[in-house]
Amino acid sequence: MATTKDRLRGTLDVLILKTLSWGPRHGYAIARWLEDTTGDALTIEEGSLYPSLYRMEQRGWIESEWGTSELGRDAKFYRLTPVGRKQLRAETAEWKSFASVVIGVLQCETPVRSGA
Amino acid sequence: MTEKKSGGPGRRVRQSNPFWKASADDLVDAELDFHLAMRERDLAARGTDPAAAHRLALARFGDLESVAAECRELAHQTERKVRKTEYLAELTHDARFALRQLAKAPGFATVAILTLALGIGATTAIFSAVEAVVLRRFAYAHPERTVLVNEIEKGLDGNVSAGNYVDWAREAKSFAELGTTNFRSFNLAEGNTPERVPGAAVSASFFRVFGVPPLLGRAIADAEDQPGQSSVVVLSEGFWRRRFGADSAILGRSIRLDGEPHTVIGVMPESFDPLVVKEQLWVPIAFTAERRATHDEHYLNVVGLLKPDVTMAQANREMGEIMKSLAQRFPIDDGERGARVVSLPDFITGPFRARLLLLLGSVVLVLLIACGNVANLLLARSSARAKEMAIRAAIGAGRGRIVRQLLAESFVLALLAAGAGLLLARAGIAVLVANAPRGVPRLSEAGIDVAVILFAFAAAVVSAVLSGLAPAVRLAREDLQATLREGGRNSMSPTRDRVRTLLVAAEVALALTLLTGAGLLIRSSLNLGRVDPGFEVQGLLTARIALPARAYKEGAPQTELAFRQLVDDLGRRPGVLSAAATSQAPMGPGGNQNGLIPEGRALEPKNAVLARLRMVTPGYFATLKVPLRRGRLFTDDDKAGAPRVMIVSEALARSMWPGEDPVGKRVACCEGSPTDPKWKTVVGVAGDVRSGGPMQDVVPEFYLPVAQVPAEAWDWIQRTMTIVVRGDRTDPATLAGAIRAAARTMDPSLPVYRITAMRDELRSSMAQEQFNTGLLTILGVVGLLLAAVGIYSVIAYFVTLRSHEIGVRMALGATGRDVVGLLAWQGMRPILGGVVVGGMLAGWGTSLLHDSLFGVDARDPVTFGLVALLLIVTGFAATVIPAIRATRVDPTRALQG
């Protein structure tokens, strides 16, 4: 259970980092971007976004700054730090290799005989 | 806190924060509110009904409360982390800056660091001794419950009889364990060299009291602590290593002690030295039934382990009750006796605690003087840097920041000094341990450990605050604007003057206190050196010889004959003027006390006068040159069967027969019964001897000729005598060979031990006092030198400041003498003030020395006067030299400057 939750959180973290790789955004903008790009395929509670943001800020992957939103309201903007950028690269590579292994297995058509 | 700084560590996040003063909690709420508001707006824009949009936004968000709570917690954590990083960054910055500043002034830095290092090093060295001797936990399983149980007679602690110990162990309920030990030495005949080994006969329960597991094998079992059992022995680790090369096959081996075979059953670890007497082996005490019933002969040490819920007071009450009932059952032996339960660690460290703490207090005074000097240096430096500070303040550095920067400097100084001080302390401890008098328990364990290092750094922190705070605050409070206007020229601010004068006065007061203590101890030492010991010390050599019970089992005549033959043989050897044997030589080990009842008083214990017994061969008085005051000395005719005789000391004669001639009086003692008192006739009066060394008062003593002592007396002293030899050369050490040769002639397996020249015995009886005197004198001199340097630098500084004024005065016609007089008077005022305050401080401080003083009062006016004079003269010299130098300056140059 805990591992599933951790994996989900880790997934969310890397998605947030990816979102921020194009420039600073506030929390709501991140939520909207995730919603739009995944087409609601990842149904997460929007609230779970924020603890992830705070945690990553604490780790130094992202940093925040209060500014004015496009509608003139005060909003907290997040942006990637160099450490966060490195983290994003590392996790992306990990995901890619993980995905290729899983896909390789899933696409395999003849069973490999054991103890040949 | 209003300073704006971009790019500083940890500040990025906040620099444009509109909620600058808002709390982290409010910020979390604001952020989440923004999210919900935006979602609501988007939903409404897509045509959702506003009320539904609000609900829907909340639903999509999830559990708002728990998210907010988690975010708040995380925000707090982040905040703390940021604050810590910021703080550490500033700290490193301050420290680096301070180091750079010190590197720019290497002379100042060296002097300040060395001064503090001296103070911290000395304080740390003494602390390590205090820690090892007093503070360190004893290596018992339960030190807080481990006690010593003594018999009390006439208010004095004393040893315990076997009968009392057995009855206590049976009746007392306060103790989880009660054990006993009797220290004694054993002759070990293993290999070629016979050796005398200090050891103890102990009960099996003795080991259980301390609960220390053996290194090898096991401790003594109850079944082995019985008479008639084959003998076993437990060795100490040190003895096992030294004598048996740490042979692991030692268990089960048989060794000969006092001629009897003993099987080795265990080895106790080095740390097992429960009474700090360094015994090397333990054998079962194995009381016989007869011994268990004997309530006379008080020779045991009894230790106990209190039950966990029993207090010292409860144990004492119970022992009081038990002694009351024993007094009724054994009125002669226990009628006048009580019992006292005391903490064993306190009992062992007690006599040394006060002295060591006194030394620690003295050395702290030296550290304070060192701090005063460094404060002075920092003050001088800060006034030289007044302009720099003013500029820093002008460009926006807060006062707090400046103070912190200055304090950082003194902290860096003090920490560097602590490092150097620890090196000094290490050397100091080695010197201390090597020169300390014998018998200070656990002192040899003193060294640099974690506690000592922590102490050194704590001392450094305190020193940093003491020496750095005053200059820092003074500087920060100063009118920096004014300083700037004056172009950085030093203004003579009267307040700063006062701080310096106070520092001088304080240093003088502290140095005076130290020197007064040292002075009193020096006078005591001189007095001790003049005490007449009652015999001629020079040219005497002493040695101990013990005859084993097995070889001398035929009893008193055989033992007495052996010693007499030994002494006769010795007396005929070349270089020997005369030789004698005694149960106890002055200042030496051994000896016992007996009660004496003069003829005419009822033969009851309450009429007895206690006096120290010395069993001697007839040549004793001539050999030691103890003067005969009346009557005659012992002769060879005072032998067994002849009329029984004794010689009393003057002190005993005075207390038993005040105003009468004691010669011819008869005394009952040491043997016999009320019906047959075995009267002994006093034939002579000998001069008093300081048996406990010059520090101790003279006690009543009496002498019996060895040929006439009761047979049991040989058991009291375990057939051990001190051989005393006077030689014809000045160096008594050459006589040692003669004693060894004579002993070998008598019995080659007989060890001769504790060979000591009497003058060394005398010296070591005063070693503790000499050591304290020496140490306090060193501290006093160091304190005086530091204070002198401090006074000199302050006066020199004043003179520099006033060189302009001096120039004016001299241009207006003042003579050099006028100027020197003026400056000297101003310089002397704080010194005189310090002398007065120091005198009061010393008056209080020296009362703590009371127990260490001999023949001099703690408020001895001569010492106080001389020390005050010494400080005034030193202070005057330190004042006048810079003053005279000032007058040598050409007035025109001073005026231009």
Query: Higher pLDDT residue, B402 or B320?
Result: B320
Read off the pLDDT of residues B855-892 as tens digits, 9 standing for 90 and up: 888 888 888 999 899 889 888 888 888 888 777 766 66
The chain A residues in contact with chain B (CB within 8 A) are 26-28, 31-32, 45-48, 50-51, 54-55, 57-58, 63-67, 69, 71, 73-76
Is B64 near chain A, with CB under 8 Å? Answer: yes
CA gyration radius for chain A? 18
CB B676 within 8 A of CB B684: no
Residue B441: its pLDDT value, please? 77
Q: Do A66 and B17 touch (CB under 8 A)?
A: yes
Nearest one of B443, B337, B479, B407 to B125, comparing CA atoms:
B443
CB B873 within 8 A of CB B515: no
B431-450 mean pLDDT: 80
Is B82 near chain A, with CB under 8 Å? Answer: no
Q: Which residues of B touch A48 (CB under 8 A)?
A: 62, 67
Whether the per-residue pLDDT at B692 is higher than 50: the answer is yes
Cα distances (Å, whole numbers) of residue B779 to B461, B515, B852, B875: 22, 8, 17, 18
Q: pLDDT category, B429, cuts 50, 70, 90?
A: confident
Whether the per-residue pLDDT at B8 is higher than 50: the answer is no
Is B13 near chain A, with CB under 8 Å? Answer: yes
Q: Do A46 and B75 touch (CB under 8 A)?
A: no
Q: Do B75 and A54 touch (CB under 8 A)?
A: yes
Q: Do B62 and A47 touch (CB under 8 A)?
A: yes
Read off the amino acid at residue B477. R
Read off the amino acid at residue B534. G
Q: Do B60 and A66 touch (CB under 8 A)?
A: no
Q: Do B64 and A28 touch (CB under 8 A)?
A: no
Read off the amino acid at residue B709. V
CB B219 within 8 A of CB B266: yes
Shortest CB distance from B61 goes to which of A45, A63, A65? A45
- B648 Cβ contact list (under 8 Å, min separation 6): B611, B656, B662, B682, B684, B685, B686, B700, B701, B702, B703
Nearest one of B713, B563, B559 to B644, comparing CA atoms:
B713
Q: Do B17 and A63 touch (CB under 8 A)?
A: no
Q: pLDDT category, B850, cuts 50, 70, 90?
A: confident
Q: Which two tokens stand for residue B546?
A: 């013990």
Residue B147: its pLDDT value, please? 92
Nearest 5°: CA angle at B176, between B172 and B178? Answer: 65
Q: Which two tokens stand for residue B12?
A: 């990025």
B48-74 mean pLDDT: 88
Q: A43 to chain B nearest CA, in Å?
A: 10
User: In chain A, which residue's Cα lies nearest the Cα of B20?
Assistant: A66
Query: Higher pLDDT residue, B271 or B7?
Result: B271
Longest Cα–Cα distance of chain A, Å, equals 69
Query: Higher pLDDT residue, B553 or B328?
Result: B328
Q: B20 to chain A nearest CA, in Å?
A: 10
Q: pLDDT category, A8, cuts 50, 70, 90?
A: low
CB A56 within 8 A of CB A13: yes
Residue B4: its pLDDT value, please? 39
**Concatenated DSSP letters of B379-410:** HHHHHHTHHHHHHHHHTT--HHHHHHHHHHHH
Q: B837 to chain A nearest CA, in Å?
A: 58
Write B478-482 long-range contacts (CB < 8 A, 24+): B478/B386, B480/B386, B480/B389, B480/B390, B480/B393, B480/B394, B481/B390, B481/B394
CB B360 within 8 A of CB B126: yes
A66-84 mean pLDDT: 87
Q: A88 to chain B nearest CA, in Å?
A: 21
User: In chain B, which residue's Cα lies nearest the Cα of A70?
Assistant: B38
Q: pLDDT category, B13, cuts 50, 70, 90?
A: very low
Pairing of the two strands B645-649 and B680-686: parallel
Q: Do A66 and B18 touch (CB under 8 A)?
A: yes
Is B30 near chain A, with CB under 8 Å? Answer: yes
Query: What span, in angstroms and rounded, lies between the C-alpha atoms of B11 and A66?
Result: 13
DSSP tag of B673: B
Sign of torsion, CA B434 B440 B443 B444? positive
Residue A41: its pLDDT value, please? 63
Which regions of B602-675 does DSSP assign to beta strands (E)? Answer: 609-616, 628-631, 645-649, 666-669
The distance from CA B241 to its chain's CA centroid, rounded to whole angstroms, is 29
- B506 Cβ contact list (under 8 Å, min separation 6): B368, B372, B834
Whether the per-residue pLDDT at A116 is higher than 50: the answer is no
Q: Which residues of B touch A51 (CB under 8 A)?
A: 67, 70-71, 74
B130-146 mean pLDDT: 86
Give the number of other CB atoms < 10 A from CB of residue A85.
15
Shortest CB distance from A48 goes to which of B30, B35, B62? B62
The residues spanned by each domain of chain A are 2-107
Shortest CB distance from B61 goes to which of A47, A55, A64? A47
Is B44 near chain A, with CB under 8 Å? Answer: no
Q: Do A74 and B34 touch (CB under 8 A)?
A: yes
Stretch among A109-113, B141-145, B831-835 having the lowest mean pLDDT: A109-113
Query: Higher pLDDT residue, A22 or B775?
Result: A22
Residue B700: its pLDDT value, please? 92
Nearest one of B424, B505, B474, B506 to B123, comparing CA atoms:
B424
- What angle, 0 to 180 degrees and rounded to 10, lies between the N-to-C axes of helices B803-811 and B861-887? 70
Q: A69 to chain B nearest CA, in Å?
A: 10
Residue B481: its pLDDT value, please? 57
Q: A61 to chain B nearest CA, in Å?
A: 13
User: In chain B, which residue's Cα lies nearest the Cα of A52?
Assistant: B71
Q: Do A47 and B67 touch (CB under 8 A)?
A: yes
Q: Do A57 and B78 touch (CB under 8 A)?
A: yes
Query: What span, in angstroms and rounded, lies between the C-alpha atoms of B755 and B732?
Result: 10
Shortest CB distance from A51 goes to which of B12, B19, B71? B71
The residues spanned by each domain of chain B are 12-101, 155-335, 350-529+767-896, 548-749
Phi, psi of B12 (to 5 degrees): -50, -45
**Concatenated DSSP letters of B199-216:** EEEE-HHHHHHHTPPPSE
Whether the per-residue pLDDT at B757 is higher than 80: the answer is yes
With a pLDDT cut of 70, the percent of chain B lying above it is 92
Residue B352: its pLDDT value, please? 81
Give the number of other CB atoms < 10 A from CB of residue B87.
11
B35-58 mean pLDDT: 87
Query: Higher pLDDT residue, B675 or B742?
Result: B742
CA atoms within 13 A on the CB side of A31: 23
Q: Do A66 and B19 touch (CB under 8 A)?
A: yes
CB B879 within 8 A of CB B828: yes
User: In chain A, which residue's Cα lies nearest the Cα of B67?
Assistant: A47
B345-369 mean pLDDT: 85
Q: Which residues of B touch A76 (CB under 8 A)?
A: 27, 30-31, 34
Longest Cα–Cα distance of chain B, Å, equals 138
Give the number of other CB atoms < 10 A from CB of residue B97.
14
Stretch among A71-80, B574-583, B880-889 having the lowest mean pLDDT: B880-889
Query: What span, in angstroms and rounded, lies between the C-alpha atoms of B791 and B800?
Result: 14
Q: What is the mean pLDDT of chain B?
A: 83
Q: Which residues of B touch A74 (CB under 8 A)?
A: 18-19, 30, 34
Read off the pLDDT of residues B251-265 as tens digits, 9 standing for 90 and up: 988 888 877 888 999
Burial of B54 (0-12, 13-18, 19+ CB in 10 A): middle
Which one of A48, A62, A76 would you mutate to disrupt binding with B, by most B Cβ within 10 Å of its Cβ?
Answer: A76
Whether the per-residue pLDDT at B6 is higher than 90: the answer is no
Strand partners, A77: A26, A65
Residue B479: its pLDDT value, please? 59
Q: pLDDT category, B476, cuts 50, 70, 90?
A: low
Residue A115: its pLDDT value, please? 47
Query: What span, in angstroms and rounded, lies between the C-alpha atoms of B326 and B335?
Result: 8
CB pairs under 8 A between A and B: 78
pTM to 2 decimal places: 0.69
Residue B892: its pLDDT value, please? 67
Residue A85: its pLDDT value, please? 93
Q: Does domain A2-107 have CATH number 1.10.10.10?
A: yes
Query: What span, in angstroms and rounded, lies between the C-alpha atoms of B72 and B724?
Result: 87
User: In chain A, which residue's Cα lies nearest the Cα of B41?
Assistant: A71
Query: What span, in angstroms and rounded, lies between the C-alpha atoms of A29 and B670?
Result: 108
Residue B317: its pLDDT value, please? 92
Residue B650: its pLDDT value, please? 94
Is B70 near chain A, with CB under 8 Å? Answer: yes
Q: Do B35 and A28 touch (CB under 8 A)?
A: yes
With a pLDDT cut of 90, the percent of chain B lying above it is 19
Residue B631: its pLDDT value, please? 93
Q: Which residues of B touch A69 (CB under 8 A)?
A: 34, 38
Nearest one of B886, B53, B482, B455 to B897, comparing CA atoms:
B886
